[in-house]
A = this chain, B = another copy of it.
Amino acid sequence: MTPNHPIGKDLLSAADLSAPDLIDVMARSRRLAVTDGQSGAASNSRKIVANLFFQRSTRTKLGFEVAALRLGHRSIDAYDPERNRVGSSNGDSFPDHIRTIAQLADLLVIRHSEELKCHEVARLAPVPVINGGNGSDEHPTQALIDLFCMLEMKGSMDKLSLAISCDSRARYAYSLLLLLKHMPPRRLTFCVDPETQFSEKTQIALDHLADLGTQVGIVHDIEECLDHDVLNIQTQDLTSKVKSTLENGDLPSYAEKEPFVLTADKILKARSDAIILNPLPRQGELDSSCDTLPNARYFEQVKLSTYVRMAVLERMLAGIPWTGTGALARA
């Protein structure tokens, strides 16, 4: 049974953003970046942002905590299975835990290995819910961060050539493709393993971009990406990572295949001035020799992420609904 919730209260997919929604988030992020966050919401309307991280996280979890705090709001860690009663045999069920937290807090951020859990949470909670990564499905706020970085560093998308090197199942990449529909780049190159089979949804998203005029290409070597304006890089082998993260355990060491490893030598040899972004953590695809080159912008990306998360929180805590096709389809 779903309570009668406001339409568009949740950010579960990048498809929840319409073009005006996306422009609004980018404009808010810009304003916050210019003032280093000082222009955020006033502190006399204190709100509580509850983090529900069922998987490990550094940037997303601490990032939303920091974004809430910099806005003058507060953050609580609402999933701590060692200290809370959720999940213990005489404790709360998952739905009861969510219903409880939704009464204590004003907004929930959830990361869960199961794709559908964030949707369940959104149905259970009368308050806004943000998907902080659901299995291998989507990671809409990471995509917003990547897009904001490109806009901040390059000015606009329409003349831009963008290369994405990653496992084609990467959730942030799929979310980014959905956002790019509203701001299509001039050129988009996907760098993947030759054996890659794109998923149907990814293929549809790429075809849609091609229809919008983007020059879409596929390559199999990172060196073919270095003439682009931006290279967004992540590991090619996400399967083992997702599996490991699902189990919250450690992973046997994994060697990125050489054609997908970016090194300072490759950048220097190509005389590339491509901006390098990476959602982090890195797993062998991005050699530390790159770190001191001017191309390396992935820690600046972390800096900018705070403004984007602040923008998303500011908008959602003000009760402004998302109006994209995804949000409307759930209504």
Using CB atoms and an 8 Å cutoff, list the residues of chain A in contact with chain B: 1, 38, 43-46, 48, 53, 56-59, 61-63, 65-66, 69-70, 72, 74, 76, 78, 83-86, 88-93, 95-97, 99-101, 103-105, 240-241, 244-245, 250-254, 280-283, 288, 291-292, 299-300, 302-303, 305-306
Contact = CB atoms under 8 A, between A and B. Distances in A.
A249 to B, nearest CB: 8
Given A70-B46, A92-B280, A86 B104 contact: no
B100 A280 contact: yes
Contacts of A38: 45
Contacts of A45: 38
A44 B43 contact: yes
A103 B62 contact: no
A280 B96 contact: yes
Nearest to A240: B90
Contacts of A282: 96
B244 A89 contact: yes
Contacts of A88: 56, 250-251
Contact of A251 (B89, B92, B241, B280): B89
Given A48-B70, A291-B1, A251 B90 contact: yes
A90 B251 CA distance: 6
Given A48-B69, A83-B57, A299-B100, A90 B306 contact: no
B103 A281 contact: no
A74 B69 contact: yes
A46 B61 contact: no
Nearest to A78: B62
